Amino acid sequence: MNADEILKLLALIAAAEPAVLGYIKALLESSQGMTGDQFLSEADGVWAQIKANAQQQLQAAPASSAAQS
Amino acid sequence: MKKFYYVVFVLMVSLLLTGFSCDKYAKAGQLAKDFAATVLVAQQLEIQAYNGGYIQPASHTAIQTKFSQLADAGVSLDQAINQAHNAQTAQDQINAATALLTDLSKNEITGIKDDKTRLGIQAALVSVQTILDSIAAFK
């Protein structure tokens, strides 16, 4: 990422919608008081979702693109 | 495309929110969860961009293959943290995930021809790498 791209990104961040702040607040609150086991359990759930998404995308991909990769 | 930047903004602020736990195991677990969640966002960005016609099928297949491998590396990292109740013995898993992220950023993502799409996904991957670096530093 070059300097122009970073400046462009910062300008967009400065103009971000207030709704984004609400999401961040919810994110913070949802993590309060959780144990290491709970965090890791959630992480494993997310990894399972990522794996399932990838499998779904790879199965749906055209055969020609799979051959190229 | 503006949505890309909103997501990137959320990712960056999320990085600032990590580290609120005092317990070392909880802190490592929280970072691991943030790592997984950020990878999921990056994957969703890529899928949306592919569905929108911004990414070629060959690149999409290669990128999703890497995300699948990253998911396996993530599970291994979680197991290592769980076994030691901290991130001290997870260096091998961190290295494996870092190698996959580097490959994604330097090889697979460069195949995306649309500049804004490539920039958006690349920024998300930078956030992922930053969280991974935090796990590596938290030992």
| In chain B, where the domains are located | 2-137
A39 contact residues in B (CB cutoff 8 A): 26, 29-30, 32-33
Residues A18, A38 within the same domain: no
CATH of the structural domain B2-137, one choice from 1.20.140, 3.30.2010, 1.10.940, 1.10.8: 1.20.140
Residues A10, A26 within the same domain: yes
Of B95 and A3, the one with more pLDDT: B95
Closest-CA distance, A35 to chain B, in angstroms, reads 5
Residues A38, A26 within the same domain: no
Q: Which residues of chain A have pLDDT under 50?
A: 66-69
Shortest CA distance from A39: residue in chain B = B29
| Cβ contact B29–A12 (<8 Å) | no
pLDDT of residue B136: 86
pTM of the model: 0.74
Whether chain A has a CB inside 8 Å of the CB on B14: the answer is yes
Q: What is the Cα Rg of chain B in Å?
A: 15
Q: How many Cβ atoms are within 10 Å of A43's Cβ, its own excluded?
A: 25
Check if the beta carbon of residue B68 is closer than 8 Å to that of residue B40.
no
Residues A1, A16 within the same domain: yes
Residues A28, A38 within the same domain: no
Q: What is the ipTM of this complex?
A: 0.83
| Cβ contact B60–A64 (<8 Å) | no
Domain of residue A10 covers: 1-32
